[in-house]
Structure 1
Amino acid sequence: MQKAFLPALGLFFLVNICSGQSKEPANKVTRPLKFTKQQIAAESFESVDVFDVNNDKIPDLVSGAYWYEGPKFLNRHYIGEVKRFGEYWDDFSTVPLDVNGDNKIDFVTGGWFGKTLTWRENPGNGNEWPEHRIAEAGNIETTRAWDVDGDGIPEIIPNTPNDSLVIYRLVKNSQGKGTGRFEAHRIMGKHGHGLGFGDVNGDGRSDLLVENGWLEAPTQPFKQAWNFHEDFKLGTSSVPILVVDVNKDGLNDLIVGQAHSYGLHWYEQKKDKKSKKTTWLKHAIDLNNSQFHTMHWIDLDGDGQEELITGKRFRAHNGNDPGEFDPLGIYYYKWNGESFTKQIVSYGPFGEGKGAGIYFSVTDLTGSGRKDIIVAGKDGLYVFYNQGSE
């Protein structure tokens, strides 16, 4: 696909390190949640997701070379070899998807060092999971799945900072099931660290975001060019960059963590009523922690309002990032109508606090109706069971 770079006219960027302002009333005060911590494994893979591997209707954990059978996660099953490079395993995502249409959930992964996007086939019989090549994608920081065309089946989009931005679309058969093959759609050349997905301009179509701007989704995303708007500079930004209406003013804002430095911010979208010009006002959420590499926006406490869940990636660059040796932590941040308030899920030095890894999951593991937090990392694989508030 041909790329299009059409910078939006009259757009500029404002920086204001302060709490966000909103005219809406503060949300009802919710007491902090309590969590019970369970170590699943000492393995140092940095990615985990939750899905039903063996079709017993009980969620399982999948992380690196192993899957852990629910509901207790005590039985560990071997998936297959994952190559190691120093402190890193070349496995920077766990994207669940039935790739070959056999009604068994597979997963998509890839790594920085091998430069290959792959999928692991769920054999359904306890054997090792065959590995299949999707593409030589370049250095893969991590990968996410978003439904670009709205057909109910997500596309695979790796963040490849040294290479082109490419969407990999699953090829489906006449019954709408996966065939085990993907089509590659290049929408932009070299891009930076960070990737997001959401409707930036309010036209009803979800756009893609990179470190230095956003790509406007056309009506036919795999046939037409995506126009690039170079509106901002986000630094070594998180994956994902969240696109959400933080202050409920009808305009979607951005939430961005610094993956390899200090800082967690939200960028308020503002539009001048007369000129229709767009500006982005930067507000601090947390300046005291570093390596916010990944995050979720989800209702964690069950009050009907989403919370921001994130934390520090332990040894993201093996001791070479600012704040690498600070205490570890996982946090959730709650919007109170004016700013974000911080609550601690886990905090402390290595062995006490927990890092957030590069790809984690938030889902109800026990059927309690409360969402739990499942986190991998170089400091181990853990579940934080949500006990609710008292």
Structure 2
Amino acid sequence: MRRNHVVVSGLSLAAALFGIGTVGAADLPKARVKWEKVKLVDNLNEGIDVVDVNRDGKLDIISGPQWFEAPKWTPHPVRDVGTNNKEFFENNGDHAIDLNGDGYPDIISASWFSENVYWYENPGKEGLTEGRKWKQHHIIDGQGTCEGTLLQDIDGDKVPELILNHWTAEKPMTIVRIKPGKNGAPPQFRKVEIGKPQTGHGIGVGDINGDRRPDLVLPGGWFEQPASDWTARPWTFHKHNGFKMDHSSLPCLVVDVNGDGKNDIIYGKAHDYGLFWTEQGPAKDGEPTWTQHDIDKSFSQVHCLVWTDLDGDGRKEIVTGKRYRAHGDGDPGAADPQCLMRFIWNPESKSFEKDVISYGEKIGSGMQIRVADLDGDNKLDLAVAGKSGTHLLFNRGPNK
């Protein structure tokens, strides 16, 4: 299996030739960080996670049908992943978690086209050595319009919940509470519908109203987490005041951008051009007010966002990119060059500054962007999987 290694200190030749979205390559800034890029496999898979699969102390990569063993990124089988329309792998996200308490990470995965959500059981030391496929187990059904999933702890019990997002607004907002097994015993799952159909493409998790409880942000509004036992009663739904996030990214980010003590919302248009932040202002009649600001409109299909500190300066920034051919030929800019970008908040200008991670190198963001120190050099690296393959991007420090 061929792996391509490229060290890029500025913009690639492809960027210089083709431009980006609605602007030319000359408008792109010089990259602030040097990245070494490694291609692991060329397929349509768009889900990925980073975890120590075999408990050897090294972080490995799980990407749909395979896992890649560090440090040489040797491929091993995980499961069979079907295809749909020769355009999609039936995997809209990989989430690593030890579900049966045997010490080995398992995988949760859903699909756009399946009614079912499954988990895949890590076969353990012997099975991994022998190259066995991971056993499939059912979690829930009735999820045939699932756009994607998040695995995030919303109640502070140190066990994450599985949060399902549907592209149709006709599905109830559903969260799966997970009770992991112990010593190899199977986990238990409880499906909780927290509210009437108010879903739609895109979701984020964070505290909107300042009560220190994570809420759920959706295109048309947000679900307020109750003060006690979030599973016992419906969550209150609040419509957005003055804006709507049509076909927003998954996830969107709920963070305090400008340091005023109130969380704002950062989102992209997952099937159009544009990345935005929506500033939370003073409440009016008990509801937040919002002011929308443009961040960047030069690339399309901004499907996934991450809030992280890649340069180690103590300040987090946006990392995102283009999900290539998210709807085949159906989206604006579907065939534009792929890219990964970083956006850094400047408190003086009160705006975001763009930094190029990759452009024109056929590296996109897919459904998930994973951030971890993959090679133990104390710098955060990136792992992405999209329709142009699975890639690792190693952070080699400032681009001087």
Whether the TM-score (by the shorter chain) exceeds 0.5 is yes
Q: Deviations over 1:84-110 (max 9, x none)?
A: 112111111111111112111001101
Q: Deviations over 1:43-68 (max 9, x none)?
A: 22111110011011100000010000
Pick the aligned partner of 1:370 from 363, 367, 379.
Answer: 379
Aligned 1:66-77 pairs, distance under 5 A: 66-73=66-73, 75-77=74-76
The one-letter code matched in structure 2 to 1:252 is N
Question: 1:225 aligns to what?
Answer: 234
Structure 1 residue 315 and structure 2 residue 325: aligned? Answer: yes
Separation in 2, partners of 1:277, 1:328 = 39
The one-letter code matched in structure 1 to 2:81 is V
Runs of 4+ displaced beyond 4 Å: 175-178, 274-277
C-alpha contact (below 8 Å) 1:170/1:179 kept by paired residues: no
C-alpha contact (below 8 Å) 2:224/2:236 kept by paired residues: yes
Structure 1 residue 121 and structure 2 residue 121: aligned? Answer: yes
Alpha-carbon distance, 1:176 to partner: 11
Count how many residue pairs are aligned between Structure 1 and Structure 2.
Answer: 355
The one-letter code matched in structure 1 to 2:390 is L
Question: 2:145 aligns to what?
Answer: 139
Separation in 1, partners of 2:184, 2:212 = 26
CA-atom RMSD in angstroms: 1.8
Question: 1:130 aligns to what?
Answer: 135
The one-letter code matched in structure 2 to 1:263 is G
Separation in 1, partners of 2:276, 2:377 = 32
Pick the aligned partner of 1:168 from 148, 153, 176.
Answer: 176
With normalisation by structure 2, the TM-score equals 0.86
Separation in 2, partners of 1:277, 1:45 = 41
Alpha-carbon distance, 1:188 to partner: 2.1
Structure 1 residue 270 and structure 2 residue 281: aligned? Answer: yes
Structure 1 residue 187 and structure 2 residue 194: aligned? Answer: yes
Question: 1:19 aligns to what?
Answer: none
Aligned 1:1-390 pairs, distance under 5 A: 32-73=32-73, 75-86=74-85, 87-124=87-124, 125-126=127-128, 127-136=132-141, 137-162=143-168, 163-172=171-180, 179-190=186-197, 191-219=199-227, 220-231=229-240, 232-271=243-282, 278-337=288-347, 338-348=350-360, 352-389=361-398, 390=400
1:216/1:277 Cα in 2 relative to 1: closer, same or farther (>3 Å)?
closer
Separation in 1, partners of 2:90, 2:344 = 34
Higher relative contact order (CA 8 A, sep 6+): 1
C-alpha contact (below 8 Å) 1:50/1:59 kept by paired residues: yes
Q: Deviations over 1:115-173 (max 9, x none)?
A: 21111110112211011111112321111111122100100012123322211011246
With normalisation by structure 1, the TM-score equals 0.88
The one-letter code matched in structure 2 to 1:344 is V
Q: Deviations over 1:254-285 (max 9, x none)?
A: 0001000111000000005x866521100000
Gap regions ≥5 residues in structure 1: 1-29
The secondary structure found in structure 1 opposite 2:205 is strand
Alpha-carbon distance, 1:31 to partner: 8.2
Separation in 2, partners of 1:146, 1:229 = 21
The one-letter code matched in structure 2 to 1:166 is T
